[in-house]
Amino acid sequence: MFRKILVANRGEIALRVVAACRELGVRTVVAHSQADRDGLPARFADETVCIGPAPSRHSYLNRLAVLAAAETTGADAVHPGYGFLSERADLAEGCAAAGIAFIGPSPEVLRLLGDKARARQAMGAAGLPLVPGTEPVEDAAAAARAAPEVGYPLLVKAVGGGGGRGMRLVEAPDRLPEAFRAAVSEADAAFGDPRVYLERYLGGARHVEFQVLADGQGRTVHLGERECSVQRRQQKVIEEAPAPGLETDVRERVGGLVAAAARSVGYVNAGTFEFLVDGDGRFYFMEVNPRVQVEHGITEAVTGVDVVKTQIRIAAGEPLAVAQDDVRLDGHAVECRVNAEHPETFTPSPGAIRALVLPGGPGVRVETAAHADHMVSPFYDSLLAKVIAHGRDRAEAVARMRRALGMMVVDGIDTNLALHLRILDDPDFLAGRLSTAFLDRFLADGATAA
């Protein structure tokens, strides 16, 4: 096991990694920006090191600063969390060159999966069904020539993208040139890679993802699936596990394909394979997120497997302690992402939290780095807390979530708590009638009703 791990992230995920390390008896160093020097991750870590000023490009996205922090503090491993540098092959390479373990896949796998076009090819060769699409297209004229074969509506997607950035929905040919230019520009700014490709847009599809764990001894297991269809602009809002209405035989079949696909590319550590599911129940591979996910906690709730501690153990060379036949799904879990944002305009709401009351009780878990007098920074993502409710079945999990959110108090800033409570009372949500179009329709109906 490692002696000391540098946590190259912030907020709730940094605190989550620190907690996992404490349970494993591993010392931690939190690499923080100047804005986060008094945050809870820094307070609870064994050591801290400042890696730059508040803007993430000068701190959390500064690969050389992270590597220097790991070397100067004597860390023998780096945990990148999610976002920021978590999918960067050059960070993994830098760690290897310095004799430091990177808690994630190899640089070669990160390069493969970070290129969405190459990842599609590899996953298709491994037997996963693909959404109809193209190779990277050079310019708007080439996109216009390829679009009829893909079919409208379609998505222009960044090759190196993620999180909805570098992505544009195109419903008609006359909208393609503008959307192409916008996607290229955003992709270049966000990822340093202007390449894009076209992919058919499956309107009304569900977004379902499978959690995978793979060790260095060739064992790969999946921990079932998560439903992530409640999202706005490709950003997830509510997730749950397992996916409502998914039959056991479908879970076993698709999960088996996913595990085999992970083995085929030499995947090691935790990862998530994301799919769109059409109205006929057909799965189509979208992408792999080669890191821990924001929503890993709901999988932990229904399987009892600690994903973060398992990540660390795998990176330390230990074999998986769980086999596929050991994985059992116990009940149902729902996660609501509580964001510091206006509930109607969705604009960020930075500022000082005057009072914070977190819910508890049976089946409720809250992951947050916020506290009373905490300053929500304008420099970072608006995620404030993840509230997870676990119950014997979906109805109990939703009831516990409704109770938990109703007891949560955040004073001083705006949050989307009211939006979550409205969604939890929606008949379509309660019936599990979900798709990636759910939230847009829900918000439109609310606006009409108002």
Q: Are 328 and 303 in contact (CB under 8 A)?
A: yes
Report the distance separating Cα 393 and Cα 433, nearest Å: 16
**Strands laid side by side in the 47-52 sheet:** 47-52, 27-33, 4-7, 77-79, 101-102
Report whether 280 contacts 286 (CB < 8 A). no
Q: How many other C-beta atoms lie within 10 A of the C-beta of residue 26?
A: 22
- Token pair 């907690």: residue: 19
Task: Fill in the amino acid letter for 129.
Answer: P
Among residues 16, 291, 365, 400, the one annotated as catalytic is 291
For residues 280-308, b (16+ Cβ closer than 10 Å) or e, as one string?
eeebbbbbbbbbbbbbbbbbbbbbebebb
CB atoms under 10 Å from CB of 376, counted, come to 21
Q: How far apart are CA 272 and CA 210, in angstroms?
A: 6
Residue 249 tokens read as 């035989």
Is residue 328 part of the annotated active site? The answer reads no
Picking from 268, 259, 263, 272, the residue whose alpha carbon sits closest to that of residue 324 is 259
What phi, psi does 225 have (nearest 5°)? Answer: -120, 165
Nearest of 244, 205, 206, 211 to residue 225 by alpha carbon: 211
- Tell me which residues are annotated as active site: 291
